[in-house]
Structure 1
């Protein structure tokens, strides 16, 4: 098959927590499966391609999010059209807010999002900060949360994971554990976890690559020994977080 096209939105503007590592993980894991992937890094004002097989948007400060708001809305129609045809998306924290339905600012004002994700966010003064661990449909997840948002999923929409330790979508005012985290709706994946997320939780990288291959009418090839080696390293990293949080190894 020809190369997959990965659109990395605002790679320079939204990388406050190293979320570009998610794109690096996707590139490497695709290469280890013999799958070519072209990464298009799209900045403000730069045109989107006619076609995409995977979209990533990372996190940033509230100031960066505000500066990008109008640019995101100008792309909303194309982004929503991609999502409607099954193109997988991964959005992290502030990027998720930009691609959601709306964001309520601390002063109570509401700004519209691109509407790709069936969710809304409300920003507060308290931040949820720290390592987290939990479980998802693809097994255990772990990472680091650093956000001031309470995120609500539309009725019937499922979270990506449920945290045993961590605040997740409930925000800093929510319980420290047994909390929904992220969003999973078809090929749409969103999370508030950094670290970055995919190197720590590579099963989700493979899920995104499989969905991308499907959107291109292909099948994800089997990986080589490097996939297994990196998976083992990621598993040890998740277990280290679980130990620091006082949890049994997953």
Structure 2
């Protein structure tokens, strides 16, 4: 079946220049590739500060960035805040990594104690500290086992009733103490996992694509994909770090 028969899926990558320093642009490229393999037509929009918002947004992604990058996107993020909150409430799938995960929360409190407000899509609060949490991570999530790599100094705490993205089987996660990682509200997922996360976790990638495709076309008709190499790499990390086998 041709891509045109299954329909277009519009991906919006927020601030790919400022907020994609740990390979998170690979998440967008992964989704675009998998959409083509499944028989859909991906349309990728890179949204930069000051630009007009795309006419269509079926799946939204954001990545990690340095503090200077967060400062450069803050004004534009404020202008897009209501739109992003509406899209999130309407069920649009989103994947926000590291710095963008923090900006989608309630607030970021700097090491000096300054409180910077976030979008409030996710009920999480992050506090900067001088100790970094770095290393490979394995999670148990609604999308199955997820692997990735964390590198963050922010310590994030979930608000009452906020669902985590996953529980930590190996690694530090949100704060190194409560064994939670990331957050999920509706179809918005926030996480500290780089890698990038999606090429290493095909089930997670297709889970997000399925939500988007069903919203656009009313159904998700997957193609026959060969994920043997990705699955083997994924399983090797799970076994090496946790001893678990599927």
Q: Indicate the TM-score class for this superposition, using the shorter chain for normalisation.
A: over 0.9
Report what 1:153 is aligned to: 158
Aligned counterpart, 1:94: 99
TM-score by length of 2: 0.92
Query: Are residue 215 (structure 1) and residue 215 (structure 2) matched?
Result: yes
Q: Does 1:83 align with 2:79?
A: no
Distance in 1 (alpha carbons) for counterparts of 2:55 and 2:107: 26
Rounded to whole Å, the distance in 2 between the matches of 1:194 and 1:167 is 14
User: Counterparts of 2:166 and 2:198 in 1: how far apart (Å)?
Assistant: 14
The structural deviation recorded for 1:6 is 0.9
User: Following TM superposition, by how much is the alpha carbon of 1:66 offset from its aligned partner in structure 2, in angstroms?
Assistant: 2.0
- Say whether residues 1:71 and 2:73 are aligned partners: no
Q: Give the drift of 1:48.
A: 0.6
Aligned counterparts of 1:163 and 1:63: Cα–Cα separation in 2: 29
Shift of 1:151: 1.3
Question: How far does residue 240 in structure 1 lie from its aligned partner after superposition?
Answer: 2.4
CA–CA separation in structure 2 for the residues paired with 1:119 and 1:217: 33
Report if the CA contact (8 A) 2:18-2:72 is conserved: no
Residue 185 of structure 1 is matched in structure 2 by 185
Partner of 1:199 in structure 2?
Answer: 199
**TM-score, normalised on structure 1?**
0.91
Gaps of 5+ in 2: 1-5
Q: Which residue of 2 aligns with 1:164?
A: 169
**Aligned to 1:247, which of 221, 243, 246?**
243
Judge conservation of contact 2:89–2:186 (CA < 8 Å) in 1. Answer: no
Matches within 5 A, 1:34-113: 34-113=39-118
User: How big is the shift at 1:243?
Assistant: 4.2
Which of 225, 229, 233 is 2:229 aligned to? Answer: 233
Taking only aligned residues, the RMSD between alpha carbons, in angstroms, comes to 1.6
Count of paired positions: 241
SS in 1 for 2:38: coil
- Show structure 1 runs of 5+ residues with no match: none
- Tell me, what secondary structure is at the counterpart of 1:129? strand
Distance between the aligned counterparts of 1:214 and 1:186, measured in 2?
15
- Whole-Å separation in 1 of the counterparts to 2:131 and 2:72: 22
Deviations 1:175-206 (A, max 9, x none): 4xx71111122211111001111111111111
- Structure 1 stretch displaced more, 239-248 or 81-90: 239-248
